[in-house]
Amino acid sequence: MESRKTKIVIVSGTDHAVWRFRRAFVAALIHLGYDVTVISPDGPYAERLRCLGCTHENISVDRFIGGSADIIYPFRLYRMIRRIRPDIVYTMTTKPNIVAPLVTKLACRASVCSVFGGLGFIYSTGGNLFAKIIKSVARMMMRCGTRFTDHFVFQNTEDRDVFQRSGLLKKKHSLVVNGSGVNLREFSCNDIDEHRINEIRREFGVSPTGTLVVMISRIAQNKGILDFIDASTHFSDKKDNIRFIHVGSLESGSLESVLSSRIVETPLFKQVGFRTDIREIIRAADIIALPSYHREGIPNVLVEAGAMKRAVVTTDNVGCRDVVDHGVNGLLVPIKNPAALAEAIRILADDPEMRKRMGEAGFEKVKQQFTVESVNKKILEEVFGIADPMLPEFFTEEIGERLCININGHSQWFRVPSIGNDHELNAGRKKHLNHGEPVEVHAISSDFRVAG
């Protein structure tokens, strides 16, 4: 009789988070013989996850302050987990980290592992009275939910220390990993189409000799987008030959949302919306900036910038300073200080040799500390108890509405929903077509536009 596969359920507040940060982990689990189900709101990334070979189940939940969907979320999650009866439940993003542990223990005997990609809004300081009340209530709920968590995975030691001081880790297993990791096959300088890079620079209005500064984040106040815009005003259009570009989507419902009226384009600053050609944009940039004062885990964009040999300017903030050694692979500036941000950008803009040196140093640091293989291997060994797991060689590539999944040298192409520049990460309840059906692809033009 064939033995039953070990069942893993991954619970997330968005399908985007699983695909963006955990697709290599999902692929590794499936390759190792696990039966994997992802539970999240439906969206275009659910189709991509199904292409990996896992099951996707749709349960709606708002990432922020929600309504009726949030009220029924625990009950729907309970019924789903009780039906699947997993052996391990792996939770990520805030609401699943709060709700899923208790629901799991009520539904079955599964072990629960919660991954904290930064402590985010509820453990940040500041805000108005309403925000402080929301944070206080959320922290109490977190204390209740985490009582039923067996394993905690953090992305930096400062976050683990917060939980330790709060008494949430008593007799619990905790692990610190270096973020989500970057796939050096996907984020590689070796296979870049220089024609496409030049096309992006022209699209963003920067000359061949000009400086392109790119910020990639959600359009959220605590990511520092307003500081980024303010920093751009310290430069002159005619004198400095520089452009500031923000890449990222709006999020409805967040207390940190920025009114569209405050995102005012100027001759130097432009907001280009959600993009899928992040690798090419990072490579086209001269400087990557992230003036965040959000409680980050390990910001992926900083790690990806290192993989693409780009110097960075970021804040001396939790998570950010884990990636950037000041003066070595980038520059650290105080939070909420647009003048200091502008000065750091000016230093790098005026010194191409420094940028190159920092980019090379960033690549070496990423290669040694922040690869997706090292992160996944540590979790599989210390949480899943797999001794020296054999991880597959894995990478993905998207061209238009076609997705290529490559595992150990074997490629398969699928047709998937396209994602436009107006995509919102919190709008995952829309219907999507093209259910991950395989397509045959014989040749792809090298100059095919990948942008959303």
Mean pLDDT of 372-376: 97
Q: Is the pLDDT of residue 440 over 50?
A: no
Instruction: Give the dihedral of Cα atoms 32, 37, 43, 45; nearest 10 deg.
Output: 0
Instruction: Please indicate whether residue 33 or residue 121 has the higher confidence score (pLDDT).
Output: 33
Q: What is the pLDDT of residues 326-340, one digit of tens each?
A: 999 999 999 999 999
Q: For residue 443, what pLDDT band results from cuts at 50, 70 and 90?
A: very low
Mean pLDDT of 335-359: 98
Between 16-25, 224-233, 417-426, the lowest mean confidence (pLDDT) is in 417-426
Give the pLDDT score at 413.
96
Cα–Cα distance measured from residue 189 to residue 194, given in angstroms and rounded to the nearest whole number: 10
Q: What is the pLDDT of residues 65-118, one digit of tens each?
A: 666 777 899 999 999 999 999 999 999 998 999 999 999 999 999 999 999 998
Mean pLDDT of 151-174: 91
Q: For residue 426, what pLDDT band results from cuts at 50, 70 and 90?
A: low
Which residue do the tokens 């988070």 mark?
17
- Other Cβ atoms less than 10 A from the Cβ of 130: the count is 10
Query: Which of 187, 223, 192 has its CA nearest to residue 315?
Result: 223
pTM value is: 0.89
Whether residue 409 contacts residue 392, with contact meaning beta carbons closer than 8 Å, is answered with: no
Token output for 13 = 């507040």
Q: For residue 436, what pLDDT band results from cuts at 50, 70 and 90?
A: very low
Cα–Cα distance measured from residue 255 to residue 94, given in angstroms and rounded to the nearest whole number: 15
Token output for 245 = 């570009």
Whether residue 33 contacts residue 5, with contact meaning beta carbons closer than 8 Å, is answered with: yes
Average model confidence (pLDDT) for the chain? 88
Secondary structure string (H, E, C) spanning 396-440:
EEEECCEEEEEECCEEEEEECCCCCCCCCCCCCCCCCCCCCEECC
Mean pLDDT of 190-201: 92
Residue 409 gets which letter from DSSP? T
Q: Report the range out of 126-140, 202-216, 438-452 with the highest average pLDDT.
A: 202-216
Give the pLDDT score at 127.
67
Which residue do the tokens 């982990």 mark?
25
Cα–Cα distance measured from residue 144 to residue 162, given in angstroms and rounded to the nearest whole number: 16
Q: Is the pLDDT of residue 57 over 90?
A: yes
The CATH 3.40.50.2000 portion of the chain extends over 7-181+371-438, 194-369
- Other Cβ atoms less than 10 A from the Cβ of 447: the count is 9
Q: Is the pLDDT of residue 431 over 60?
A: no
Q: Is the pLDDT of residue 445 over 70?
A: no
Mean pLDDT of 421-427: 64
Q: For residue 405, what pLDDT band results from cuts at 50, 70 and 90?
A: very high
Token output for 381 = 């060994």
Q: What is the pLDDT of residues 244-302, one digit of tens each?
A: 999 998 776 666 777 777 888 988 999 999 998 999 999 999 999 999 999 999 999 99
Instruction: Give the dihedral of Cα atoms 52, 57, 63, 68; nearest 10 deg.
Output: 170
Give the pLDDT score at 126.
65
Whether residue 382 contacts residue 376, with contact meaning beta carbons closer than 8 Å, is answered with: no
Residues sharing a CB contact under 8 Å with residue 258, sequence separation 6 or more, in sequence order: 219, 220, 221, 225, 226
Mean pLDDT of 204-227: 94
Residues sharing a CB contact under 8 Å with residue 349, sequence separation 6 or more, in sequence order: 211, 213, 240, 242, 286, 287
Fold of 194-369: Rossmann fold (3.40.50)
Which architecture characterizes domain 7-181+371-438 according to CATH?
3-Layer(aba) Sandwich (3.40)
Q: Is the pLDDT of residue 447 over 70?
A: no
Whether residue 49 contacts residue 22, with contact meaning beta carbons closer than 8 Å, is answered with: no
Give me the helices (H) in 206-260, please: 225-232, 237-240
- Other Cβ atoms less than 10 A from the Cβ of 385: the count is 9
